[in-house]
Amino acid sequence: MKLNTATDYAFRMVLHMALLPNGTKITGSELAKAQKIPDRFLLKIMRPLIASGIMQSFRGVDGGFALAKKPKDVTLFDVIEAVEGATYLQRCLYDNETCSRGCHGNCSVQESFGRIQRNLITELKAVEFETLAKREREIHLNRGCPSKAQARDC
């Protein structure tokens, strides 16, 4: 499984928002600049994050974006699913008819990949952005950032 660049950017966007106080709203250009993401690409990635209920948008002069959920309620799996859709390690896990052997889902390889995929999903669902934000602060503070408030920019 290989995650695309949009998903990597989405992780960074959600993590950046998780580092801010709950309910903080920032503009797309501020977020793009902070995370070094092209403005147009950020807006493209933001659409599925909004549609999935991870982010919310605000229109108007005071518009911008904010997390729609608390960071503890957003997982790596949520972001992957929002940006990439349902992801499978092997095609036969979602369509038995794709098996070139004609096994229709009855083989040891499919069983193994099914187990691996279930474990992977469990692990991805166990990592929430509150924990990631806490660790991110620790990493940046250990790099010599002068304060917690500046850790997100350090």
**Percent of the chain predicted with pLDDT > 70:** 82
pLDDT per residue as tens digits for the range 136-151? 998 887 766 655 454 4
Q: Are 25 and 65 in contact (CB under 8 A)?
A: yes
Residues paired with residue 66 on neighbouring β-strands, in sequence order:
56
Cα–Cα distance, 33 to 44 (Å, whole number)? 15
pLDDT class of 108 with cuts at 50, 70, 90: confident
pTM: 0.84
pLDDT digits (tens, 9 = 90+) for 63-99: 899 999 999 999 999 999 999 988 777 766 666 666 6
Kindly indicate the confidence band of residue 38, based on its pLDDT and cuts at 50, 70 and 90.
very high
Query: For 59, phi and psi rounded to 5 degrees?
Result: -90, 165
Structure tokens at 127: 């990592």
What tens digit of pLDDT does each residue of 113-131 get?
A: 888 888 999 999 999 999 9
Instruction: Report the b/e string of 39-59 with b at 16+ CB within 10 A.
Output: eeebeebbebbeebebbebee
Domains and CATH numbers, the chain: 5-151 (1.10.10.10)
